[in-house]
Amino acid sequence: MSLSILRSAVLCLCFLLVACSDSPPLAPLPQGATILAFGDSLTRGTGAPPEQSYPAHLARLTGFEVINAGVPGEVSAEGLARLPEVLQQAQPDLIVLCHGGNDILRSLDKATMLNNLQAMIDIARDSHTPVVLVAVPKRSLLLRAEPVYQQLADTNSLPLQASVVADVLGDSELRSDRVHPNGAGYQIIAEAVYQLLQDSGAI
């Protein structure tokens, strides 16, 4: 099966899963909006050139400025400490939060990770910035989203893209190593986030 067919199949599955869920509504983003992509190496785009990171792809899809605030190797406690200054500097209209993968890889306490992510959501909301969540997979033979993300989405009524990172990392043709996508994989992630933003009414 060709790479293009595999990409299409993964993307269709992601869009179907989003369409089958009721994404909480978001206010439409204003013209010239700024989106903050906040996370770790998955956000930075490790494994691909900078112009092929998911924030770079998302910027091209939306026509908006998308700030890449990904720090490779960062755990959620470090992200929580970093977020207030990044928010103050960026003044974004929306945050795409994809964090916690390094907590999972290092087998750190899940309750602490949940609390750190919740605190990030609270900080964003205190600054009147809507949040969209992107889940990362738990450690298992079958890649599935870590349930913490669904819990956070339900508790906070947040739009969640639950499946795309796990689906991409489950396909050897879409990843650069065991835990990072390649450029094609990041494009699929960006397209799934773009679809989620459309479904939630942000764009």
Domain boundaries defined on the chain: 3-199
The torsion angle over the Cα atoms of residues 109, 118, 59 and 173, rounded to 10 degrees, is 30
The DSSP 8-state label assigned to residue 178 in this structure reads S
Per-residue pLDDT of the chain (203 residues; tens, 9 = 90+): 444 444 544 444 444 444 334 668 899 999 999 999 999 999 999 999 999 999 999 999 999 999 999 999 999 999 999 999 999 999 999 999 999 999 999 999 999 999 999 999 999 999 999 999 999 999 876 788 999 999 999 999 999 999 999 999 999 999 999 999 999 999 999 999 999 999 999 99
| Residues, the chain | 203
Q: What's the pLDDT score for residue 91?
A: 97
CATH architecture of 3-199: 3-Layer(aba) Sandwich (3.40)
Q: Distance (Å, rounded) from C-alpha 203 to C-alpha 198?
A: 5
**CA 71 – CA 153 distance, rounded (Å):** 23
Edge-to-edge strands of the sheet including 65-70?
Answer: 65-70, 34-39, 94-98, 131-134, 160-161
Q: Give burial (CB, 10 Å; 0-12/13-18/19+) of 191.
A: buried
What are the CB-based long-range contacts (under 8 Å, 24+) for 148-153? 148/100, 148/110, 148/113, 148/114, 148/117, 149/100, 151/114, 152/114, 152/117, 152/118, 152/121
Both tokens of 2, joined, read 């060709």
The residue assigned the tokens 């089958």 is: 20
**How high is the pLDDT of residue 20?**
38
Q: In this predicted structure, what is the pLDDT of residue 13?
A: 46
Distance of alpha carbon 189 from alpha carbon 176, whole angstroms? 14
**2: Cα within 13 Å, side-chain hemisphere:** 3
Tell me the backbone φ, ψ of residue 176, rounded to 5 degrees. -95, -25
pLDDT of residue 142: 74
